[in-house]
Structure 1
């Protein structure tokens, strides 16, 4: 079993156990706020189950029908999880508004709080661990699952504070008010996950991945890498897909061009934490490149080297060579 599968299995088992505990707390108290917390736990379990399948699918090798691999399913997994969180928040708000007009008696508040405290501590610990491991493994699904558990833990802590106020201040309306606040918080959390998944499904530029690539390019650049531009980076699961134009001396023959592109590919793949697939378009240099070209003893140089242009996320992503002198 892969590391990702073990992590999502941990999330799934934890979610099932904590969901049962929260519903026990709801049945012994009748608290609307505790019901809100328990309802979100159903989402945790279903989302973790879908995450389990998406991790399995994302790990499958490329095939004829999926030449770019299966990593993009992680964005769909996060979309499902975000959508279910959003639906859970809506259900919680509807039930809260209903109970404003038709209140239900609340009992055994103290026992319910102890149970919720246990679930919140477990969720916080497991969520932190999943987020840390998700970032290190470059798994959007694991990271989203961990974030979801942390959101659940924070909302549970808020629930406990509200129940304490209700118990000692003798204010029964606090239960409904707290439930409404939790519902809004859960809705917003679902919205953020939906936004992130839609960005990935629409191939929105991954700024973090671009910065990572640009850093390594500047660190390991060679003299005959005269110019890199039109850089585009997308992360699908644990793989990155990188397109760019690489300007090389125009007197290189085809074998030299091939060797330099292979070197470019190998250097970045050795340095980047994610496995990368490159599509590199080779451009010939032009006289306008000479003022920032570092190639020594160039037989066709028309202008002396004047300055090194440091690549950054702004100039390297444009579809043009760096002709303009500063």
Structure 2
């Protein structure tokens, strides 16, 4: 992640803190004027958003620290820890909503001042939807797992608010007060699913999962197009840590090739990979043709002779 991208991500993470506090305040006001258990559950989930925003801000700053003696590969994976924590918080928020809604099933009540409460909650939901979209788009563009997870967390809050609003409107129109807690429970189940998805994606990052298929295709194409002079490439491995991708492979060259020529080929390949992935960290093992090849192979076109 370059400095411009880092500043953009860090700035959004910072403003997420006061924003989430403001939205939580609006939702708690909506609950206070109505007494709706569904609106209370929605407000409680927003309190988790505040904690998640603080965690994202702190971790994004730490992940941007340059490599040091103790962390020679950098600190990018710290963002995955933040994303895992946010996923867990999403799950806890959903369980909290279910905890609050189940008792209301036996003694449901229609909300007071429903129009005012619904209007306040709807306004908070619209604000959240816009903010979540900005966070997710920026997080994906700048390869920030923490910011993306924060955006997904906020978007799950939007889903909660939408379900709560629908449930309250139906409860008011039909007179069936039990719809209030029922909708809260259904929405909580969806939030559980979203939370597990965030956790799963983050764990993949911590476990050094390969880069996405479309990006690996770009890397292979860059290697094949600029490895002229070599005899082939094999044992390609990739992984991703936050905004950085790691590429490791073996480059086979003629046994009699001078070190300088082999090094020039490596430089050419590295420049080609960084042209499509500026934050790539590349390790190339040069070996003579007598070595036995294994792993993922990349066919290198033979250079034409005059």
TM-score by length of 1: 0.84
Q: Closer, same or farther in 2 for the Cα pair 1:30/1:226, shift >3 Å?
A: farther
> Which residue does 2:222 correspond to in 1?
216
Equivalent residue for 2:39, pick from 8, 27, 34 = 34
Residue 275 (str. 1) matches residue 279 (str. 2): yes
Residue of structure 2 aligned with 1:253, choices 255, 258, 274: 258
Equivalent residue in structure 2 for 1:228, among 222, 229, 233: 233
Q: Distance in 1 between matches of 2:29 and 2:246?
A: 47
Structure 1 residue aligned with 2:3: none
- Cα-to-partner distance string for 1:241-265 (whole Å, 9 max, x where unaligned): 1111122333311121122112211
Q: Deviations over 1:25-60 (max 9, x none)?
A: 111111111122111111111011000011100111
User: Residues 148 and 216 from structure 1, CA distance in 2 versus in 1: closer, same or farther, beyond 3 angstroms?
Assistant: farther
Q: Which residue of 1 aligns with 2:79?
A: 74
Give the Å deviation of 1:223: 2.5
CA distance in 2, matches of 1:69, 1:130: 24
Which piece of structure 1 moves more, 37-46 or 274-283? Answer: 274-283
For the residues of structure 2 that align with 1:287 and 1:12, how far apart are their CA atoms?
56
CA shift for structure 1 position 102: 4.5
Distance 1:197 1:134, change over 3 A: same
- 5+ residue gaps, structure 1, are 299-326
Equivalence for 1:116: 121
| 1:295 aligned to which of 288, 293, 303 | 303
In the superposition, relative to structure 1, how do residues 24 and 61 fare at CA in structure 2: closer, same or farther (>3 Å)? same
Shift of 1:217: 3.4
User: Structure 1, residues 183-241: CA drift from partner, whole Å, max 9, x if none?
Assistant: 111111111111111111122223344234234335x4343244222222222122111
Q: Is the 8 A contact 1:33 1:175 kept in 2?
A: yes
Q: Structure 2 length normalisation: TM-score?
A: 0.89
SS of 1:233's partner is: strand
* Counterpart Cα distance in 2 of 1:283 and 1:201: 30
> Contact 1:210 / 1:232 at 8 angstroms: preserved in 2?
no
RMSD: 2.3
**Residue 181 (structure 1) shift:** 0.6
